[in-house]
A and B are shown apart, each in its own frame.
Chain A
Amino acid sequence: MTEQPTRPTSPDTAPGEESDSFLSGSAGYIIGLALALTLTALSFWASQSGLLWRPGIPVGLCVLAVAQMGIHLVFFLHLTTGPDNTNNLLALAFGLIIVFLVIAGSLWIMANMSHQMMPMEHVMQMQS
């Protein structure tokens, strides 16, 4: 393709490119790093702390991980909900649907199959 002339009013932003907002420049990166480090520290703490309700920990860890991924997307990848980011966001949403289908679908199907399956000891007994 050819080099297109620059249009100042382009309604489109490249993914990862900063747009003008109060978080532009190094401030955004510093806040992002601080938040990411905090969330990581929280995850590590939560996973071994005896203070928390044990059965809730896996869910808590997932929430913290998703939150941290969101922080990365916003502060490092500069994803916004602005109209210039529609394509980028839609592509991401499509990817997330697929990721969800792959992981949730696999876990559901495989768990169901192993539930239906006769335990291996029974098979052995039937053969002997």
Chain B
Amino acid sequence: MLGKLTWSAIPFAEPLPLITSMVVLAVIGGVLAWITAKGHWDYLWREWITSVDHKRIGVLYVMLGLIMLLRGFSDALLMRTHLAMASGVNQGYLPPEHFNQIFSAHGTIMIFFVAMPLVTGMMNFILPLQLGVRDVAFPTMNSVSFWLTASGALLINVSLFVGEFARTGWLGYPPLSELQYSPGVGVDYYLWSVQIAGVGTMLSAVNLVTTILKLRAPGMSYTRMPVFCWTALASNLVMLAIFPILTACLAMLTLDRYLGFHFFTTDGGGNAMMFVNLVWMWGHPEVYALVLPAFGIYSEIVSTFSSKPLFGYRSMVSASMVICVLSCMVWLHHFFTMGAGADVNAFFGIATMIIAVPTGVKIFNWLFTMYGGRVRFEVPMLWTIGFMITFVTGGLTGVLLAVPPVDFIVHNSQFLVAHFHHVIISGVVFGLFAGYSYWFPKAFGFRLHDGLGKAAFWCWFFGFYLAWMPMYVIGLQGATRRMQHYDDTTWQPYMIVSACGAGIILCGVLFQAAQLVVSIRNREQLRDVTGDPWDGRSLEWSTTSPPPAFNFAVLPDVRGEEAYWGMKQRAIAQRQLAGGPAYAAIEMPRNTPIGFIAAFCASVAGFALVWHIWWLAALGLAAALVAFVLFGWRREDEVEIPASEVARLDQARRAARSTALSDLPVDRREMAAAALASAGTDPHRLGHDGDREAPLGARHDGPAEKHIVTSFGFWVFLLTDIVMFSALFATYAVLSGATDGGPTPQMLFNRSTVAVETVCLLFSTFTCGLALLAAKRRNTGLTQLFLAATGLLGAAFLTIELREFATLIAEGAGPSRSAFLSGFFALVGCHGLHVAAGLVWLLTLTAQIARRGFQPKIQRKLLCFGLFWHALDIVWVAVFTIVYLFGTSL
């Protein structure tokens, strides 16, 4: 009934996890009781849980990231204090199996549930505001993405009270993570929580890429986007490219553990190195996906607080895009020592060093932006300067590690651990804190307390150096990573210093908590009345703090680089705001609980899968499916905000701005007038009115039409799907010779069956195209007929494939026979699963057309379905060639 779950899963005998669990449960219970007592549930449900507003979702992401930071940081404190003691005869206070869980959880949490939500949250909140639009491309999907990430975070925390976490390190290398060596549920918790959160991340990347490419204010051409939008684009493209690889890689490990496949096992022809190869193809670009948005945040801050346009905007954009592609070509440097030859190692070593070039370009651009500027040393700027100083040295240790012979000496040592903490803390974490203090007033309408913010910065800055510099030293002396105890007592002083550093960082964290509390209490004194507290340059500062639900009463009219700076200078010089616009009613997406429901189902199903409670897993997945189908039937997708409400809110904003404008000193006015005069009609400086009369096509004309946005988003999603298939293809190609003495492709595959399958699919793609054509002409009868034909041909294909599978398994050639067969079943089965999903989709679509006719929404879905079905055909062409024809002819 309950699978593997028994009372022994609760750690009654281990005081540390037990007490932690009790405290956490008490805190959660207390918060829930407080909410109930105060009667806030209704508000939370309406305004936050079911919200599809990108700003609310962004804030939720950041809150999730900060809460998980506390969890990940307490793991770090445990490890540092333990290592300060565990020297010589002293065994420390953490037993090895517990220590292993802690470092695995620390890494997993810090990357997947701290850095990722914080980065995604900042992008979610800021991108639509900087692009001058009202929301992201797919607001509902945005909510689903967030709640799935939260579901993954929940699952990883449940492992603390029920069962255990993985002891395999944050990437779970096989064969250690295989069932044979890790029989417990720890690795399963790792797999399902990362998998669920990974799906959320992938959807959010699809969403943000589509938003940047298809939804921008009128006049906001690519080269007028703020640099943060560019780095966010680069980062999300990287996520699109790599998360499907991780999904495929972890899915294969899951198949090994649950169904006895042989991808990465030590027997059956499995090859653990393929896991290492695939997981780093995700893992290395991932750090760039995290650091690129941080680079964008630094760029915004440096320019704002130096009161100057960013130096070398175009080189910054090129550098970001170069990093985006190069970062996907260096993954082998994570396993230089694992058996590749000198040629391969040299290639990846050199590629790694080349990345330092665009990164160096960025550093110089920031320095030159500050040069000659009026630098204001506010808290965001302190984090940025701290980053520049620290990141340069951290990056240099990276170039050092990129030299294969050096890596052979220091790999797996504390030197390496020091390196990646050096770059991630200074690059990503400092950037996120900089962005947090920079955009906090925009999100909540009041600034954060200045003094406490500075104190937090200095603690983090010096704490970081104290904690990690000693690790470089003992790393060079031979201290390995992930060690629970060391015999060389001369290392202990370094470990103690490092623990002190962690203690100083703890002070920084406490200052940050205090800053939040004090700022909320003093919010009236810290109020940001104008919406532009830092004298900003991009469009998010042109609206109120916090912005209204619709962001902009009318979409901004962008006439040059630094859109808002140009508008502001013009207003200052003319002593008045541009003429009052005509307000119209605004349609905004309606709230929905679907994201929350999907995540609830995912959490239940994930927990059930960890503990092998099969009925509950099936129930969770079925419930999610039903919820999505019901959601698809929703009639009202939008709510209207009346023009009078829009006008009221915007007039309040204009009044506040006008007051601020009239309070400006005279010299500001003269400066603005002089700047405008010297800029002339150069569109790169402050913009100009002539921009609006640019010939058609020469000027970006605002957000794309909805069906273009939808199908482009789906197109991008399909590309991620194809990348996932490519990981399966690569695995199949590598393992296809590993028959482990079992049947070979020649003995198993029947060419004529495959030919029939192929013809079925080709004709189904043809009828699918005709159905779309009929739908475009609004011919219901023909559309239904062709859709039915598509469905029948698809079903025929699936039936033949299932019979083939059944025959193979009956002959003893099932997926657990050999690595070759595992690869075959995973690849062909994954394609079959797609066809099956397509059939379910087809069924609901046909029903919707019958009931509702050709509404625009249904036409959009049909367009996406067509893309999906045609793409499956393209994948099948690769399958029959690589698997069946190669298999039977070579």
Question: Which of B731-785 touch A at CB < 8 Å?
Answer: 731, 733-734, 751, 755, 758-759, 762-763, 765-766, 769-770, 772-773, 776
Among A16, A37, A62, A101, chain B packs the most CB atoms within 10 A around the CB of A16
Interface string of A21-32 (1 = CB under 8 A from B): 000011001101
Say yes or no for B354: interface residue by CB 8 A criterion. Answer: no
Return A106 CB to nearest CB of chain B, in Å.
4
Report how far A105 CA is from B731 CA in the complex, Å. Answer: 12
Question: Which of B307-349 touch A at CB < 8 Å?
Answer: 325, 328-329, 331-332, 338-341, 343-344
Query: Knowing A36-B762, A103-B730 touch, does A58 contact B886 (C-beta < 8 A)?
Result: yes
Picked from A16, A61, A65, A105, the residue with its CB within 8 Å of the CB of B281 is A105
The reply to whether A29 and B773 contact each other, CB–CB distance below 8 Å, is yes
The reply to whether A99 and B723 contact each other, CB–CB distance below 8 Å, is yes
The reply to whether A61 and B730 contact each other, CB–CB distance below 8 Å, is no
Q: Is the interface of B mostly helix, strand, loop or mixed?
A: helix
Report how far A100 CA is from B871 CA in the complex, Å. Answer: 17
Interface string of B849-890 (1 = CB under 8 A from A): 000000000000001001100110110011011100110111
Report how far A48 CA is from B888 CA in the complex, Å. Answer: 8
Report how far A65 CA is from B884 CA in the complex, Å. Answer: 13
Query: Knowing A44-B885, A61-B885 touch, does A101 contact B589 (C-beta < 8 A)?
Result: no
Contacts of B241 in A (CB 8 A): 94-95, 98
Return B430 CB to nearest CB of chain A, in Å.
30
The reply to whether A116 and B711 contact each other, CB–CB distance below 8 Å, is no
Contacts of B691 in A (CB 8 A): none
Contacts of B763 in A (CB 8 A): 33
Picked from B341, B697, B702, the residue with its CB within 8 Å of the CB of A116 is B341
Picked from B137, B727, B885, the residue with its CB within 8 Å of the CB of A1 is B137
Interface string of A77-93 (1 = CB under 8 A from B): 10000000001100110
Query: Knowing A14-B708, A29-B766, A102-B730 touch, does A112 contact B341 (C-beta < 8 A)?
Result: yes
The reply to whether B866 and A16 contact each other, CB–CB distance below 8 Å, is yes
Among B139, B271, B706, B877, chain A packs the most CB atoms within 10 A around the CB of B877
The reply to whether B885 and A106 contact each other, CB–CB distance below 8 Å, is no
Picked from B341, B588, B769, B866, the residue with its CB within 8 Å of the CB of A2 is B588
Report how far A4 CA is from B702 CA in the complex, Å. Answer: 9
Report how far A88 CA is from B339 CA in the complex, Å. Answer: 40
Report how far A44 CA is from B273 CA in the complex, Å. Answer: 34
Report how far A15 CA is from B340 CA in the complex, Å. Answer: 41
Query: Knowing A69-B878, A91-B715, A106-B278 touch, does A99 contact B726 (C-beta < 8 A)?
Result: yes
The reply to whether A112 and B277 contact each other, CB–CB distance below 8 Å, is no
The reply to whether B730 and A10 contact each other, CB–CB distance below 8 Å, is no
Say yes or no for A9: interface residue by CB 8 A criterion. Answer: yes
Say yes or no for B541: interface residue by CB 8 A criterion. Answer: no
Picked from A14, A99, A101, A112, the residue with its CB within 8 Å of the CB of B707 is A14
Contacts of A113 in B (CB 8 A): 273, 338-340
Contacts of A92 in B (CB 8 A): 715, 719
Contacts of A97 in B (CB 8 A): 325, 328
Contacts of B733 in A (CB 8 A): 103, 106-107
Say yes or no for A109: interface residue by CB 8 A criterion. Answer: yes
The reply to whether A106 and B773 contact each other, CB–CB distance below 8 Å, is no
Contacts of A30 in B (CB 8 A): 766
Return B793 CB to nearest CB of chain A, in Å.
12
Report how far A58 CA is from B332 CA in the complex, Å. Answer: 28
Query: Knowing A7-B705, A109-B277 touch, does A69 contact B726 (C-beta < 8 A)?
Result: no
Contacts of B729 in A (CB 8 A): 103
Say yes or no for A40: interface residue by CB 8 A criterion. Answer: yes
Report how far A29 CA is from B764 CA in the complex, Å. Answer: 12
Report how far A65 CA is from B638 CA in the complex, Å. Answer: 45
Query: Knowing A4-B703, A16-B867 touch, does A95 contact B719 (C-beta < 8 A)?
Result: yes
The reply to whether A9 and B696 contact each other, CB–CB distance below 8 Å, is yes
The reply to whether B878 and A44 contact each other, CB–CB distance below 8 Å, is no
Mark A residues whose CB is within 8 Å of B.
Answer: 1-4, 6-7, 9-18, 25-26, 29-30, 32-33, 36-37, 40, 43-44, 47-48, 57-58, 61-62, 64-65, 68-69, 72-73, 76-77, 87-88, 91-92, 94-95, 97-99, 101-103, 105-110, 112-113, 115-117
Mark B residues whose CB is within 8 Å of A.
Answer: 133-137, 139, 213-215, 237, 241, 245, 271, 273-274, 277-278, 281, 325, 328-329, 331-332, 338-341, 343-344, 586-589, 638, 696-697, 701-712, 714-716, 719, 722-723, 726-727, 729-731, 733-734, 751, 755, 758-759, 762-763, 765-766, 769-770, 772-773, 776, 863, 866-867, 870-871, 873-874, 877-878, 880-882, 885-886, 888-890
Across the A-B interface, the 4 shortest Cβ-Cβ residue pairs: A95-B719, A106-B730, A14-B711, A15-B715
Known: A87-B712, A106-B278, A115-B341. 13 other contacts (CB 8 A): A1-B133, A1-B134, A7-B705, A11-B701, A13-B708, A44-B755, A64-B881, A69-B877, A69-B878, A91-B715, A105-B329, A107-B733, A110-B271
A and B contact pairs by CB, cutoff 8 A, 6 listed: A1-B215, A97-B328, A102-B281, A103-B729, A106-B733, A115-B341
